[in-house]
Amino acid sequence: MSSLPKSIQNLINEFSKLPGIGPKTASRLTFYLLKQPGVDLEVFAQTISNLQKNLIFCSTCHNMSESDPCKICGDVKRNHNLICVVEDPLDVVAMDQIASFDGVYHVLGGVISPLDGTGPDNLKIKELLTRLQVAGSKEIVLATNPSLEGEATAMYIAKQLKNPKFTHVKVTRIARGLPTGADLEYADEYTLTKALEGRREY
């Protein structure tokens, strides 16, 4: 049984649930917060409390936003004929660091993974197909992660786009600048740039 006060142990336990945070790091974070002024703790707590309250999903790209359309979809300076298809909102952050990419995004909300019970109908694939029909976009870049699930998802989307009604759409896949099993969110700008530059038709 822990000798720590229950309130401290509870916070350590909550921090430990975060990805990449072990018990030692959780303890350091908790004791760091204990040293902060009460006002700062209140702001911190309020920020966490409000995290989901002001967020919505863009009806166009399905990325998290505080407005609809989101800032990217609402930017007339971006190339709306070029859509980069990614798994999650963090991938948008990673890809948008590339200065040479001026297109827009489509967030699938995951990947096809039968073992996890995630099929095509659980993702924003139908919405992507509808968007391509309505918007008349000329190229989509399949930028799912180079994992088995990411590749399967990219292949599934590419197969759907073989339909004659999508003959106006060029389908490309980011190149192997990313090692197999890597996540976009952890890749550096140079690696992502090379992967984007070397994209191939799918």
Q: What is the CATH number of the domain that holds 160?
A: 3.40.1360.10
Percentage of the residues of the chain whose pLDDT score is greater than 70? 94
List the helix and strand counts (H, then E) for the chain. 7, 7
pLDDT of 190 reads 64
Global pTM?
0.77
Average pLDDT over residues 100-107: 93
Tell me the backbone φ, ψ of residue 82, rounded to 5 degrees. -120, 110
**pLDDT over threshold 80, residue 40:** yes
Q: What is the CATH number of the domain that holds 34?
A: 1.10.8.420
Report yes or no: 68 and 61 within 8 Å, Cβ to Cβ. no
pLDDT in tens, 148-159: 899 999 999 999
**pLDDT over threshold 70, residue 97:** yes
Which domain does 164 fall in, by range? 78-201
Looking at the domain assignment, is residue 187 inside a domain?
yes
